[in-house]
Amino acid sequence: MKVLILAAGYGTRLYPLTKDKPKPLLEINRKPIIDYLLDKVQPFSTLTEVMVVTNEKFYGLFESWARAKKFPQPICVVNDGTKSNDDRLGSMGDIHFVMKQKHVEEDLLVMGGDNLFDRGLEDFLASAQKYSPKTTIGLYDIGDRNEAKKFGVVQLDDESRVISFEEKPANPKSSLIGMCLYYLPAPSLNRVAGYLNVSRSADTSGDYIRWLYQQETVFGFKFEGKWYDIGSIEAYEAAQEEFKS
């Protein structure tokens, strides 16, 4: 299994914090957000490589970070070549870019680089591998439908299959949202290129899931505990307070 951390955004909603530093390298309790993600995947014996996709602006910072890390598996930083928020590839564009550049042919765990949560990934991986070769996505009940408007909103059936996915809906059907956490088994990887061939949207990974569940079964796994999408100053400050201990 390889891990891909999405870190090619420009963090415009977090200015001025992200003017010269990418979101995943912002610190929570004196520790970069991306290090919390490494802690989640380090226990897995099947892990062969961690890949971090970023942009031209922040490539050097991530390279310095990777060189300083003492991690049992290789960490590879991939530059997607973009230089501003206007020419970014988007989540699906970056996933596809890395898959081609790195010739990925094994199971792929994709994680948003601004994700912060306090539960481990063991149960998620066990569930995803049980449902392989189908895709599994990580979900979190944010508990507030009004707040859910900012995210991809999901509904599951009694067998944990995705039956609805709406990206930032005006009237959410539930408060269950996508976490930007995906397990893509090796046999499913070609679906990414298939999606990009028929869609004009490479921006959000949620659009891919919305397309995919209409083509084949997609499973969802609900996380408990605390979860933060560090997409605003308010979320960053809340996470700082929560993770003090």
Coil, strand or helix: which one is 120?
Answer: coil
pLDDT of residue 87: 85
209 membership: H or E segment, kind and range:
helix 205-212
**pLDDT tens track for 5-19:** 999 988 778 888 888
CB neighbours (10 Å) of residue 59? Answer: 19
Q: What pLDDT score does 17 carry?
A: 81
CATH top class, domain 2-137+180-201+228-242: alpha beta
In angstroms, the Cα distances linking 225 to 75, 139, 193, 207, 210 are 28, 12, 34, 26, 26
**Buried b / exposed e across 107-118, counting CB within 10 Å, b at 16+?**
bbbbbbbbbbbe
Domain boundaries defined on the chain: 2-137+180-201+228-242
Q: Measuring CA to CA, which residue among 241, 240, 245 is closest to residue 26?
A: 240
- pLDDT for res 245: 62
Task: Identify the weakest region by mean pLDDT among 34-38, 78-82, 208-212, 234-238.
Answer: 234-238
Q: Which pLDDT value is given to residue 31?
A: 92
Q: What string of H, E and C letters represents the secondary structure of 68-104?
A: HCCCCCCEEEEECCCCCHHHCCCHHHHHHHHHHHCCC
Average pLDDT, the chain: 92
